[in-house]
Amino acid sequence: MQDSHAKKTDDKSGYGTTGHEWDGIQELNTPLPRWWLWTWYACIVWAFAYWIAYPAIPLVSSFTKGVLGWSSREAVVADVKGLQTLRGPMTAKIEAASLADIEKTPELLSFARAQGAAAFAVNCSPCHGAGAQGSKGYPNLNDDDWLWGGSLEAIHTTLQHGIRWDADKDTRSSMMPAFGKDGTLKPNEISATADYVRSLSGLPTEKGSDLALGQSVFAANCAACHGDSGEGNQEVGAPKLNDKVWLYGPDKALIMERITLGGGGVMPAWSTRLDAPTIKSLAVYVHTLGGGQ
Amino acid sequence: MSLAPAFDPHLDEPEEPLYTARKQIYPQAVKGFYRRIKWLILVVTLGIYYFLPFVRWDRGPNAPSQAVLVDLPHRRAYFFFIEIWPQEVYYLTGLLILAALVLFLMNAMAGRIWCGYLCPQTVWTDLFMAVERLIEGDRRERMHRDAQPTNLETFSLKLLKHSIWLLLAWWMGGVWVLYFADAPTLVIELATFRAEPIAYISIFVLTFTTYTFAGLMREQVCLYMCPWPRIQAALTDEHALNVTYRYDRGEPRMSLKKATHARSLGEPAGDCIDCQQCVAVCPTGVDIRQGPNLGCIQCGLCIDACDDVMAKIERPIRLIAYDTDVNIKRRQSGLSEVFKPIRARTVLYTVMIVVIGAVMAYTLVNRAPFTVNVIHDRNPIFVKLSDGHIRNGYTVRIANMLTAPQTFTLKVDGLHEAHIEIIGGEGEIGGLPSISVGADQTREMRVLVRAGEEDNREGEPASLEFQIQDIHDGRIAVARDFFRTPHSIH
């Protein structure tokens, strides 16, 4: 037994073996340099120094803070402060310039678009989508169809005061009545009106539908806000009904649902949450998505 | 008798230690052909390294006038007439591939000549050893002094040596940072302590590593830290010239007296007189007579040392020489020597070097001085406008690599009817929207393309070509993308 564990010298390499043997295969003892060992010890010491200097060990409801008092949260706050200082001059320029001037100055435009895109991703994309493409009931901000106006000033106002946001006294409000739910209109009238609305933008209507009835109902109930020919009214946020863009969709069932339930979307007022330069940048960003007027 | 092995308390006690202290190597001074080559290469390579940052190269206004400069803050690299932008980092990749292939080819031809002559570790270690010899004397003197207890003389000599080493190391690191900023300006800034902290930190780190690697660790870097000795073994073959002890001529080794006696009796006697000169001069402490060795950097200093001895004992020189395994075997069996520099692997390496080099040179010479890149909006893919037309949005980036501001016109081909709008555009030239881009800069714009009715159709999305044209000389750069509609596939 002892023989198989005896330390021997390997003939080929001249190195000693560790004495370990597996099925005739022996392990060479190739010693590491001692400086390597000391480097390793030094790393261990360094690791302990780290433990002492920095937050390291989790406790039941807390953790060891480390003698340097470093905290990742404070580091982030300091980094954000640093960035704000860095952006300070540009932010001041954005604050001073008019919205139209921002769009005309390449330097300001690229800064505002970058800042606007970042603010949009955090604040606006949950409703309007990552690319501002909107979804059912939430307007697409890329197209040229605007509920409350697509000029820089109008977008800026919407951002500042929101839509139907009661906490802001300058918010813009309007409410489409729930014609069906309230019993104002009968089901056959709603059906006829929906068909008539579809006909305004040249969409096919249901066979045998009473478009004349629809037209008269529309004139009596809808035209006040949506206009005689469905051209909409940005003063009261009434959508255009004679174009190819639909807030809730062009299907007859969806239009009937809107006539039945009425209502309107809500957007928060951002002036209480975002600072003035950020809101300006957002207005420029949305305006330059492509649909701005 | 028990089947289980008896417990042996000494079993796990290694007779050899698991860690070994470094054995101090005292390389002896040597003169000769290969030593002269090494001095020459040392002077040339260090000369290039130290003086290159100060070489000027006029690129006109709006560009730095330093021949070799890596401008990290502005993301530009300059090498004489070449300017590399970050997106062209493939030139660096290509250069690294070429360097690797040249290394392989060198290895297939003549072993580790990189290690022996060109590696910065070798060159600086050589320089540090020269300083050591100058101050502390040659091998025997240093060994003798280190064996004595330290006295004032030893201490002061060592202090002087380490001070000069630190100065050399500091100079090495100091020059390194000059490749990353305007060298003359930075020298003044460094001297007046107005340079960026990163410059001082880099110098400190490089001073420390150079001092440690070239002064203290030396052959340990080659033996334990460098991967090349391990890789190299897989790339060499029996036809590669390696520093070789010609054992067919040297063995059986014996003293000069015994050899003379043996020869007079007609008995076999090798030329090796076991004088250990080859070991004494070796910077890595290798005995070349043991055959190919991981520690051998093939610097050829043992050849010089052995030639010296052979000349003195009036035997033919080159008992140690650049030789191949094949030739030793052939001489032993009485065959003539063969040299085969043209082998499958050397041909393959050469062809690869030539092809890659040619492709790189071709692309470099023919690259456009300005480029355009287009990214289609990811979301939304398309926008339906109130009149039913479809619009696609793109981010267009123009890179003007010229050292003068340029104005470009933008044209989009591929649609029956296209209305193009540049957000923040400046106007029109000849009916096309125009954009100006500053010297050596890029500019990113949002470009909206609105298509006519005819383009809103079933089928594959229309392929668009974005074409920018320099209004002064009419040169063109293009980028391609697609126009997507609710009806297009994909």
- List, for residues B33-65, the tens digit of each pLDDT value: 999 999 999 999 999 999 999 999 998 887 899
pLDDT at B459: 77
pLDDT confidence bin for A220, thresholds 50/70/90: very high
Answer yes or no: do B284 and B224 share one domain: no
Positive or negative CA dihedral for B17, B21, B26, B32?
positive
- Closest chain B CA to residue A12: B290
What's the CA gap between B488 and A236, in Å, rounded? Answer: 37
pLDDT at B291: 83
Of B179, B209, B232, which residue is a domain's last? B232
* Token pair of A128 as six digits: 């309007």
Residue B12 domain flag: no
Q: Describe the crossing of helices B120-136 and B33-51 by its angle, rounded to 10 degrees.
A: 110
Positive or negative CA dihedral for A210, A212, A218, A223?
positive
Nearest residue to B161 via CA among B139, B138, B129? B129
Q: Are B406 and B437 in contact (CB under 8 A)?
A: yes
CATH of the domain at B420: 2.60.40.10
Q: How, if at all, do strands A32-33 and B19-20 pair?
A: parallel
- Closest chain A CA to residue B22: A33
Query: CB-based contacts of A187: which residues, under 8 Å, 6+ apart?
Result: A180
Answer yes or no: do B200 and B89 share one domain: yes
Answer yes or no: do B380 and B448 share one domain: yes
Answer yes or no: do B218 and B258 share one domain: no
Low-confidence ranges of chain B (pLDDT < 50): 1-7, 9
pLDDT at A2: 42
* Token pair of B433 as six digits: 């929207």
Range of the domain at B410: 370-488
Q: Do B446 and A144 lie within an 8 Å CB cutoff?
A: no
CB pairs under 8 A between A and B: 102
pLDDT at B455: 78
Q: Do B393 and A290 lie within an 8 Å CB cutoff?
A: yes
* Token pair of A13 as six digits: 């390499």
Q: State CA A216 to chain mean position distance.
A: 43
Phi, psi of A73, deg, nearest 5: -65, -45
Q: What percent of chain A has pLDDT over 70?
A: 97
Q: What is the DSSP string of A36-83?
A: HHHHHHHHHHHHHHHHHHS---B-SSSB---TT---HHHHHHHHHHHH
Q: Is A149 on the interface with B (CB under 8 A)?
A: no
Q: Which range, of A26-40, A160-174, A180-194, B366-380, averages the lowest pLDDT?
A: A26-40
Q: Do B217 and A35 lie within an 8 Å CB cutoff?
A: yes
Nearest residue to A31 via CA among B16, B169, B428, B322? B16
Total domains in the fold of chain B = 3
Residue B461 domain flag: yes
Name the residue type at position B464.
Answer: L
Residue B53 domain flag: yes
Residues in A touching B223 (Cβ below 8 Å): 33
What's the CA gap between B184 and B190, in Å, rounded? Answer: 10
Q: Do B11 and A288 lie within an 8 Å CB cutoff?
A: no
DSSP H helices, A201-273, are 211-217, 223-226, 252-261
Residues in A touching B446 (Cβ below 8 Å): 113, 288, 290
Q: How many CA atoms lie within 13 A of B226 on its CB side?
A: 22
| Residue B438, min C-alpha distance to chain A (Å) | 12
Of B306, B332, B358, which residue is a domain's last? B332
Burial code (b: 16+ CB inside 10 Å, e: under 16) for B460-476 equals: ebbebebbbbbbeeeee
Residue-level length of chain B: 490
Residue B305 domain flag: yes
Of B232, B258, B287, which residue is a domain's last? B232
Q: Do A5 and B5 lie within an 8 Å CB cutoff?
A: yes
Residue B357 domain flag: no
Q: Which of B18, B223, B379 sits opposite A131 (nearest CB)?
A: B379
Answer yes or no: do B420 and B305 share one domain: no
DSSP H helices, A201-275, are 211-217, 223-226, 252-261
Answer yes or no: do B181 and B217 share one domain: yes
Answer yes or no: do B440 and B483 share one domain: yes
In angstroms, the Cα distances linking A133 to A141, B153, B377 are 6, 83, 11
pLDDT at B3: 47
- Closest chain A CA to residue B385: A143
Answer yes or no: do B47 and B174 share one domain: yes
pLDDT at A6: 61
Answer yes or no: do B93 and B169 share one domain: yes
Residue B143 domain flag: yes
Answer yes or no: do B151 and B77 share one domain: yes
Rg of chain A taking only CA atoms, in angstroms: 35
**CA angle B320-B42-B293, nearest 5°?**
35
Check: complex ipTM more than 0.85:
no
Q: Is A199 on the interface with B (CB under 8 A)?
A: no
pLDDT at B450: 93
Report pLDDT digits (tens) over B123-177: 999 999 999 999 999 999 999 999 989 899 999 999 999 999 999 999 998 999 9
State in Å, rounded, how far the first CA of chain A is from the last one.
94
- Closest chain A CA to residue B427: A104
* Token pair of A232 as six digits: 């909409």
Strand spans (E) along chain A: 17-22, 25-28, 32-33
Q: Are B433 and B410 in contact (CB under 8 A)?
A: yes
Residues in B touching A240 (Cβ below 8 Å): 386
pLDDT confidence bin for A7, thresholds 50/70/90: low
Q: Which of A16, A35, A133 sits opposite B16 (nearest CB)?
A: A16
Residue B341 domain flag: no
Residue B15 domain flag: no
What's the CA gap between A230 and B420, in Å, rounded? Answer: 30
Residue-level length of chain A: 293
What's the CA gap between B168 and B50, in Å, rounded? Answer: 12
Answer yes or no: do B450 and B394 share one domain: yes
What's the CA gap between A149 and A127, in Å, rounded? Answer: 19
Residues in A touching B377 (Cβ below 8 Å): 131
Residues in A touching B443 (Cβ below 8 Å): 106
What's the CA gap between A192 and A206, in Å, rounded? Answer: 9
Nearest residue to A271 via CA among A169, A151, A125? A169
Answer yes or no: do B223 and B265 share one domain: no
Q: What is the mean pLDDT of residues A49-76?
A: 93
Q: Describe the crossing of helices B301-312 and B33-51 by its angle, rounded to 10 degrees.
A: 150
